[in-house]
A = this chain, B = another copy of it.
Amino acid sequence: MSTEVLTAVGWLSRFESALSDTDVGSALSLFAADCYWRDFLAFTWNITTLEGRTEFATMLNARLSGVQPREFRVVETSTGVAANEAWFTFGTAAGRGTGHVRLKDGLCWTLFTALRALDGYEEKSGHSRERGTDHGTVKGRATWLDRRKADHRELGYSRQPYCLVVGGGQGGLALAARLKRLNVPALVIDRLPRTGDTWRNRYRSLCLHDPVWYDHMPYLPFPDHWPIYTPKDKMGDWLESYASIMELDIWNDSACRRAKWNQQDKKWQVEVSRQGETVVLQPSHLVLATGMAGVPNLPAIPGAEKFRGTQNHSSRYRDGADFSGKRCIVIGSNNSAHDIAADLWEYDADVTMIQRSPTLVIKSETLEKFGRPLYSEAAVEAGIDADRADLMAASTPYRLMPQFARPFVERIKKEDAEFYERLRAAGFMLTFGEDETGIGLMYARRGSGYYIDVGASDLIINNRVKLRSGVEISHFTEDALVLADGTALPADLVVYATGFGSMNGWAAELISQEVADKVGPCWGIGSNTAKDPGPWRGELRNMWKPTAQEALWFQGGNLQQARHFSLYLALQIKARWKDCRPRSTRLKPGARDTDRPGRWGLYGIRACRRRRPRRRRCYPCSSMASCSTFTIFRLGRY
């Protein structure tokens, strides 16, 4: 090979040649020593980041013949860094993909490949949209309304949904919309009476903490006058309209009581209480879209049972109307804690916040200014819509994010130095993440631990909301909360803004503890920082991807994630329905796929098969060869 330094365009052409020649060696020679390949379904039928040539080699050797990558076409080389980056499209045996490559000295540093559509099952839009009416005359014609009414009558009774989505928040609705466009029969059930109530029922003063550009639902962007921070009730109404416009099939006032996987007929048995009536559903797939925050964490404080005031978890707090002039304690110091403290203060309550551990605080304005250039009015003007921004954001692997994040944190600390100084002076314990990587990574690692300041920090600085930080809680008396230093805080109300357990808590509650344990925790990337134990995973655990429980999926996260990752989850479910993944991913040819991650190519080894589930924990690590389950895929034992 010549010593010329490849441009991204040239690189891609070489890469395609190597792949089409099934020449894994040549393909690998195109990568730098330090290299990352983030793949959403296209090569691995999973959401995964491979790190280093060894991992690439294993994957390519196993998958190349089945994936049949081809037709790489550069659609854009990034301006600024010019030839070092390119966006491209490509095809596989299963469908069409989009990708991105980032070079360093002519060798690939990061590669991103994402399957975006399944051949033969493309979503109908634009030229392929439906006609809406059957021209011509047909006796006994069923109108649109007839068909919608029939769906409503039959689905879940005489006709089973292929996919059941538990939870009708943004996650459930975004996924249902994707499935609808892919023609997968899906049903959403939600325990609340009206679509959007998940938002309406939150505390009175809540507005989205993320700005509008981040929050679009799939297919139907907000109109361009939509406010930057959507008020919760407006968000509820939006989701209600969205469900109507997208013709989603939803049962409201319908709670999932329990679910059981039937290995024999490969169906779930799901008991649903629909407006009081018990209905048993038998979907092939079960998606828990029950909120990324799982079951509320309620700390066991001695004497809580004898406390005569009100105790509420933050998820049950509505507003401070009843607490004017009353003494209120908010335990916790993240988003909800601050919002609730401020709301109580606005209602003239006497508020004390108890901060148990250091908290990341970032001013909302600062975050808007520096935080997400891809999701901003400037990005819109540059032609970057939400879908494109999602792909751009996804092109960076988690492993590299800290190095991009730290300068941003430094900038913020400088920008708001005075603010942080005053907050510290008020006794507030601050952090910017253990490794100073800021809010983005903290969100990926633990989904908590921060406050996006919309005003409450000033209340703390000015002592309008009293702060007790760095002190343990001892116990309750009848009318007070007593701290470890002996201080008794008289209280009429105690709000536990103490967060939520992992989403697999929902699996424990609805399915079984055994299944929850088998699946393991959701969220977190294995960063080995607080609340995100290692080993390294490189992608969010169990989110939008096959889990250790066949046909069980988790959909959740903020609106951006609900939007972007609903596509890949929907494609995975559609592919299972239509059985249209390439042969090589199914190691017993012809067998019905079972969605156990072990079946899904290389990445199967990551969520590996646990023979003795409770004792032998086996997650992938950098030295993969030492992983005892490494052979599962390679030997094709599944």
State whether A136 touches B241 (Cβ < 8 A).
Answer: no
Q: Which partner residue on chain B sits nearest A220 by CB separation?
A: B223
Interface-lining segment among A22-30, A225-233, A274-282: A225-233
Q: Complex formed: what's the CA distance from A127 to B226 in Å? A: 11
Interface-lining segment among A12-20, A68-76, A118-126, A526-534: A118-126
With a cutoff of 8 Å between Cβ atoms, the chain B residues found around residue A410 in the complex are none
State whether A129 touches B233 (Cβ < 8 A).
Answer: no
State whether B144 touches A234 (Cβ < 8 A).
Answer: yes
State whether A126 touches B229 (Cβ < 8 A).
Answer: no
Q: Complex formed: what's the CA distance from A204 to B246 in Å? A: 22
* Shortest distance between the CB of A50 and any CB in chain B (Å): 34
User: Does A137 make an interface contact (CB < 8 A)?
Assistant: yes
State whether A238 touches B245 (Cβ < 8 A).
Answer: yes
Q: Complex formed: what's the CA distance from A513 to B439 in Å? A: 68
State whether A143 touches B225 (Cβ < 8 A).
Answer: no
Chain A residue total in the interface (Cβ 8 A):
63
* Shortest distance between the CB of A195 and any CB in chain B (Å): 11
Q: Complex formed: what's the CA distance from A157 to B354 in Å? A: 47
Give the oligomeric copy count.
Answer: 2
Residues 321-362 of A contacting B (Cβ, < 8 Å): 342, 345-348
User: Does A240 make an interface contact (CB < 8 A)?
Assistant: yes
State whether A346 touches B140 (Cβ < 8 A).
Answer: yes
Q: State the main secondary structure of chain A at its contact with B.
A: loop
With a cutoff of 8 Å between Cβ atoms, the chain B residues found around residue A133 in the complex are 207, 227, 229, 231, 454
State whether A228 touches B137 (Cβ < 8 A).
Answer: no
With a cutoff of 8 Å between Cβ atoms, the chain B residues found around residue A245 in the complex are 223, 237-238, 241
State whether A181 touches B138 (Cβ < 8 A).
Answer: no
Q: Complex formed: what's the CA distance from A138 to B455 in Å? A: 9
Q: Complex formed: what's the CA distance from A205 to B143 in Å? A: 7
Please pick, from B148, B205, B208, B220, the residue contacting A141 in the complex, using a CB distance under 8 A: B205
* Shortest distance between the CB of A206 and any CB in chain B (Å): 9
* Shortest distance between the CB of A621 and any CB in chain B (Å): 43
Q: Complex formed: what's the CA distance from A228 to B145 in Å? A: 16
User: Does A377 make an interface contact (CB < 8 A)?
Assistant: yes
User: Does A456 make an interface contact (CB < 8 A)?
Assistant: yes
State whether B244 touches A212 (Cβ < 8 A).
Answer: no
With a cutoff of 8 Å between Cβ atoms, the chain B residues found around residue A132 in the complex are 207-208, 212, 227-231, 234
* Shortest distance between the CB of A277 and any CB in chain B (Å): 26
* Shortest distance between the CB of A225 and any CB in chain B (Å): 4
User: Does A219 make an interface contact (CB < 8 A)?
Assistant: yes
With a cutoff of 8 Å between Cβ atoms, the chain B residues found around residue A212 in the complex are 129, 132
Contact A138/B346 with A123-B225, A126-B377, A231-B143 known, Cβ cut-off 8 Å: yes
* Shortest distance between the CB of A55 and any CB in chain B (Å): 38
With a cutoff of 8 Å between Cβ atoms, the chain B residues found around residue A240 in the complex are 244
With a cutoff of 8 Å between Cβ atoms, the chain B residues found around residue A4 in the complex are none
State whether A225 touches B219 (Cβ < 8 A).
Answer: yes
User: Does A483 make an interface contact (CB < 8 A)?
Assistant: no
State whether A219 touches B228 (Cβ < 8 A).
Answer: no
Q: Complex formed: what's the CA distance from A245 to B221 in Å? A: 12
User: Does A252 make an interface contact (CB < 8 A)?
Assistant: no
Q: Complex formed: what's the CA distance from A39 to B130 in Å? A: 38
* Shortest distance between the CB of A454 and any CB in chain B (Å): 4
Please pick, from B225, B230, B231, B246, the residue contacting A124 in the complex, using a CB distance under 8 A: B225
Please pick, from B143, B227, B237, the residue contacting A129 in the complex, using a CB distance under 8 A: B227
Residues 98-151 of A contacting B (Cβ, < 8 Å): 123-127, 129-133, 135-141, 143-145, 148
User: Does A364 make an interface contact (CB < 8 A)?
Assistant: yes
State whether B244 touches A237 (Cβ < 8 A).
Answer: yes
> 8 extra interchain contacts, Cβ-Cβ under 8 A, other than A139-B347, A145-B233?
A126-B224, A127-B377, A130-B225, A132-B228, A137-B346, A137-B458, A145-B204, A145-B231
Q: Pull 5 A–B residue pairs with CB atoms less than 8 Å apart, ordered by A.
A: A135-B364, A137-B345, A137-B458, A141-B205, A144-B233
